[in-house]
Amino acid sequence: MDEDVLEGFTKQRATRLGSEILKNPEDPVYPLVKEYSDVVSKHPPSQLPPDRGVRHEIDLVPGTKYYVTRQWSLPRERCEVIYALFAEKANSGMVWESKTPHSTPTFCVRKPNGKWRLVHAYNKINNATVPAQTRIPRKNVLLNNMSGCTLYSALDLVDGYYQILMRESDIPLTAVSTPSGMLWERLVMSQGLSNAPASSNRLITQLFRPLRTFAQTYFDDIFVHSRTEDGQTAMEVHLKHLRRVFEVMRANKLYANIDKCVLAAVEIKVLGCFVSRVGVCADPEKVKAIAAWPTPRSQKDPRKWLGLDNYLHKYSAGYAELARPLSDLLKKDADWVWERQHQDAFDSIKASLQQASVLAFPDEYKAFSVVCDASDYAIGCAVLQRDDEGRERIISFQSRQPSAELAFNGITPTPLGPEALCELHCPRVLANCHQFTAFIAANGEVALIFSRNTTSALNSRRHAQRYELADGLLYYRVDPRDPPRVVVPNDEDLEYDILLEAHDAPISDHLGREKTYQMVSQTFWWPRMDKWVAHYVKTCETCQRVTFSAPLQILPVTADCWKSMSLDFVFGLPADDRGNTGILVFVCRLSKMVHLAPVRDKVTGKQAAQLCLDSVFRYHGLPETIVSDRDSRFTGAFWDTLFQLLGTMSTMSTADHPQTDGQTERVNRVLEDTLSICAEAPRSWSDQLPMVEFALNNAAHASTGFTPFYLNALRHPQMPLTLRGGTDASIVSGEEARKVFSSLVSDIEPESLQR
C-alpha cells in the first residue's frame, strides 16, 4: 500500500474526529455536537445504567455446582491499578462486596490509548454456560445498506458492556477476586462472559431498530449514513439523522467517546474496510501489515499470515489459486520445505492485495453478471454489475480450493463447481450453469484471470483492464470513477509540447505545479507524469522570477454560486494604451470564479457599478452579499447607481467592509505575479486579461478541489489542449445538474469553502 495513500486516509479521518470538530465553530456539525455534549463526550458519567428492558442472563448447564479459581500474583503496579478501578466502580454503584462461593481471578491489560482495562478469567463459568442464540449482524448486509450514500458517521459507545444490568439472580455468578483479597460482585455485565456480545448486540439493536434505514449497528458501534433527499443536501439530511441517533442515546443514557467518533465524513472505517460513495476498499493498514510480513520460517508463520489474508480475499482475483502452494504446506504431515513456488505464492498474494480494486455496492434491482472459471486446483468467480454510467464494476471476487468437486475436465468446468460457488457466496444472482458456460466461452480472457494465471500475467491483465481503445486512440483510467485519459506515447518532444501549452500558453499563465498537473491530467496520461510536471515547472525560467503567496481570511460563505461576491481593486500597473492602470476583481466566494475588468486609477463608484453590471450581473444575476475592503468607492453610491441601471427603485444597505478580505487579496497577488510575466510588453497587459481570467477559472482551486468553471456549469470548457486529446466536454442539465451540484458542495470541506 502506497505510503501517501495511507497517510491520506489517516489525515482525512483525523479531520472529522469529534474532538477536532469541537475546535472549529464554523464546522456544520459543531452546533449539534455542542448541543449533545452530554451524549458525545470525553468524560461520560460513571453511574449504574437504567433498566432498558434487556438484562444479561447466565443460564448454566443443569447440575453445575460452584466454581473457584485462585487469584494470580501480579506486579505491584497492576495491583494498584486494579484497586483504584474497583474503588471507582464501587463509588458509582456498579460493584459490591460478595460472600458467594464462586470466584474468578482478575488481571488488567493496557488499551491502545495507554489506559488500563480490567479482565476476568471466566473460563470455568463460560464452559458451563448455555450459549445464547442471538443473530450477529452480517457484515455484507450492513455494508450494502450504505449504498448510494455520500456522508458517513461512526459512533463508538463508551464501555458498551457496562451499560447492561445483570439479572438479579445471576449477580453472585459474576464474583471476581482481586490481589488485595477482596471479592466483588458485578451489578452490570462484565467483559469476558461468553454471552456478553449477544446481550450487547440485542440491546443496541432493540434501541436503534426504528432508525435502521440510516443507522446500522454492530455491537457497540453505530454507523450513520445519508444522501441527498427531497431537495435537501446530504449534510442537511445527515445532521437530521445524527440528531435522531443522539436523541435515542440521551433517552437511554448511552454515551459515545468523542475522541473515537468520526462525524460527517466522506469516508469512514467500517469493520476492517473503508466505505465511501465510490464503494468499499480494503483497510490500508491491514494491507500494509500483509505487505510488510517477513518470509515465513516455520509452519506456524504462514498459518497466521493466511488467516489475515483470508479476511481480504474478496478484493483479490484468483486468491484460492495463488494461495494453494501455501495451503499445501499446512496439510497434516506435510514437511516444512520453503521452495521457490512458495515464495512466488507469498509475493503474488501481497501484490494482488496491494493492487486490490475498489468494490462497488450491489444494487439488487439491477442485473448481475458472473464470470466463472475452474481448474484442477481452484474454482472462482467475479460478480459484476453496471453502474449508472454504464461502467461494469466489480462487486466481489470469490474463489476456493475444491475438495469433493474435482470433477473438472480441461478448461470447461462441470456444473458443480461454479454453481455451488455462486449459491454459496452470491445467492441473489440467479443464473444456471448454461449461462455460466456461455459467459465463460464468450469471455475466455476475462475468465482466465481467476485460476490459471502466473503472477506476472495476473498483474498484467489487471492493469490492462484500465485501457480502452476508441477512434484510433488509446485511453487509460487511473480510477474507475474518473473519465478516460488519452495515453501519450513515450515521446519526450510530445510530452514537452503538451506541458508547454498547459503551462506557458496565454490561457494557462504559469499557474504552478499543482494547477498545471490538474489541467494536463484532465485529458492526458503517461507514466510518472506528476514528476514530469514538477520538473518542468521547477525549471521554468519565468516562474522562478515570481514568488506566489497570499494570506487567507475566513468569512462565512453561502451554499450557491455567486450568492456572495467579493470585489477589490488592483492598482499600480503601468498605463496601457487606453490609460488603464488597475483592475477591478470580482470573485465568487463559493466557486472561486473570477471576472476581471481594467479600470483607470480615478474610477468612481458609479463606474464600478457599471462594470459590475457588465461583468457579473449579465452572467450570474445580483449577489445577495458583497464583501469588499473599506474603499470609499464601495458606498451607497455604488448601490444607488447599480439599482438605477437595473431600472428598479429597490434599495440595499451598504455591504460589509472587512478591513482585509483574504480571498480577493489572494487573487490580487496571483494577478500581480501573473501580469509581471507581461513585463516585456507593459502597455498591453489589459489585452491579456481575458486569457488570465480563463486560466484562473480553468485551474482547480486548492480549497474546493474543483475548477471554478466546473462548479458553475458542471463541465470543463473546451480548449486547444483538450481538442488535441479528442475528449468531449459534456453538459449536465436539469434535475440531474441540481443533484450533482448538491453532491459536489456537500463533499467539499466546510472550512475550505470559507477561504
| 164-181: pLDDT as tens digits | 999 999 999 999 999 988
d(CA 514, CA 548): 13
What is the C-alpha to C-alpha distance for residues 455 and 435, in angstroms, rounded to an integer? 29
- The continuous run of DSSP H or E covering 708 comes out as helix 708-713
% the chain with pLDDT above 90: 16
> Which among 136, 158, 264 is positioned nearest to 221, based on CA atoms?
158
What local confidence, expressed as pLDDT, does residue 14 receive?
55
Least confident of 147-161, 237-251, 618-632: 618-632
Cell of residue 681, nine digits:
510588453
Q: For cell 444479561, what's the residue? A: 56
**For residues 55 and 164, is the Cβ–Cβ distance under 8 A?**
yes
Per-residue confidence (pLDDT) for residue 416, from 0 to 100: 41
Query: Residue 676: which pLDDT band, with cuts at 50, 70 and 90?
Result: low
* pLDDT exceeds cutoff 70 at 428: no
pLDDT at 681: 67
Spelled out in words, what is the top-level CATH class assigned to the domain 14-276? alpha beta
230 to each of 233, 243, 738, how far by Cα in Å? 9, 18, 12
Does the CA dihedral 532-534-537-539 come out positive or negative? negative
Q: For 472-481, what is each residue's pLDDT tens digit?
A: 778 888 776 6
Q: For residues 93 and 503, which has the higher predicted lDDT (pLDDT)?
A: 93
Mean of pLDDT values over 287-294: 85
Q: Which of 14-28, 279-293, 499-513, 588-602 has the lowest mean pLDDT?
A: 499-513
pLDDT digits 0-9 by tens, 91-141: 988 899 988 888 999 999 888 778 888 889 998 999 999 988 777 788 888
Reply yes or no on domain 564-752 having CATH 3.30.420.10. Answer: yes
pLDDT of residue 166: 93
Cα–Cα dist 186/207, whole Å: 24
Longest Cα–Cα distance in the chain: 105
Q: Are 353 and 287 in contact (CB under 8 A)?
A: yes
pLDDT higher for 364 or 589?
589
Q: Give the mean model confidence (pLDDT) for residues 36-56.
A: 87
The pLDDT value recorded for residue 748 is: 58
Whole-structure pTM over 0.85, yes or no?
Answer: no
At residue 511, the pLDDT reads 72
**C-alpha cell of residue 447:** 475468465
What is the spatial order of strands in the sheet that 280-282 belongs to? 267-270, 273-276, 280-282
Q: Average of pLDDT values for 705-727?
A: 74
pLDDT at 263: 93
On the question of pLDDT at 349 being above 70, the answer is yes
Give residue 262's pLDDT band: very low, low, confident or very high (50, 70, 90): very high
Q: Residue 609: its pLDDT value, please?
A: 86
**Mean pLDDT computed over every residue of the chain:** 77
Residues in contact with 480: Cβ distance below 8 Å, sequence separation at least 6, in sequence order: 278, 357, 358, 391, 393
Percent of the chain with pLDDT over 70: 75
Amino acid identity for residue 61 in this structure = V
> In this structure, what C-alpha cell is assigned to residue 9?
486516509
Instruction: List, edge to edge, every strand of the sheet that includes 95-97.
Output: 95-97, 183-186, 176-177
Identify the weakest region by mean pLDDT among 303-307, 349-353, 357-361.
303-307
Residue 677 DSSP class: G
Question: How confident is residue 678, by pLDDT bands cut at 50, 70 and 90?
Answer: low
Spatial separation of the C-alpha atoms in residues 239 and 746, rounded to whole Å: 12
242 has a pLDDT exceeding 60? yes
Per domain, the residue ranges of the chain are: 14-276, 485-544, 564-752
Cβ 687 vs Cβ 580: under 8 Å: no
* pLDDT given at position 345: 84
Predicted confidence at residue 439, as pLDDT, reads 40
Average pLDDT, stretch 712-717? 81
For position 657, what pLDDT does the model report? 46
Whether the predicted pLDDT of 249 surpasses 90: yes
Contact assessment for residue 210 and residue 104, using Cβ atoms and an 8 Å cutoff: no
CA angle 132-133-138, nearest 5°?
A: 120
Cβ–Cβ contacts within 10 Å for residue 604, how many? 15
Tell me: the pLDDT tens digits for 511-557? 777 778 877 888 888 888 888 888 888 777 667 665 444 444 455 66
Give CA–CA dist 357/149, Å, rounded: 20
In this predicted model, which residue has the larger pLDDT, 114 or 446? Answer: 114
**Is 421's pLDDT higher than 60?**
no
Sheet holding 625-627, edge to edge: 594-599, 582-588, 564-571, 625-627
The separation between CA 29 and the C-alpha centre of its own chain, rounded to angstroms, equals: 17
Q: Residue 108 has which C-alpha cell? A: 488488567
The beta strand positions in 415-548, using DSSP E, are: 467-470, 473-476, 485-487, 524-525
Q: Average pLDDT for residues 692-705, to the nearest whole number?
A: 81
Averaged over 554-563, what is the pLDDT?
72
User: Residue 293 pLDDT > 90, yes or no?
Assistant: no
- Virtual torsion, Cα 194, 196, 197, 203, nearest 10 deg: 150
Q: Which pLDDT tens digit goes with each residue over 641-659?
A: 877 787 765 544 444 444 4
What does the pLDDT read at residue 36?
A: 93
Lowest mean pLDDT among 563-577, 581-595, 634-648: 634-648
Q: Are the beta carbons of 177 and 106 closer than 8 angstroms? A: yes
The amino acid sitting at 689 is: L
Residue matched to cell numbers 470559507:
754
Highest mean pLDDT among 294-298, 314-318, 518-522: 294-298
Please give the pLDDT value at position 1. 42
Which of 13-27, 228-242, 286-300, 504-518 shows the lowest per-residue confidence on average (mean pLDDT)?
Answer: 504-518
Distance, CA of 284 to CA of 272 (rounded, Å): 9
Sign of CA dihedral 410, 413, 414, 417: positive
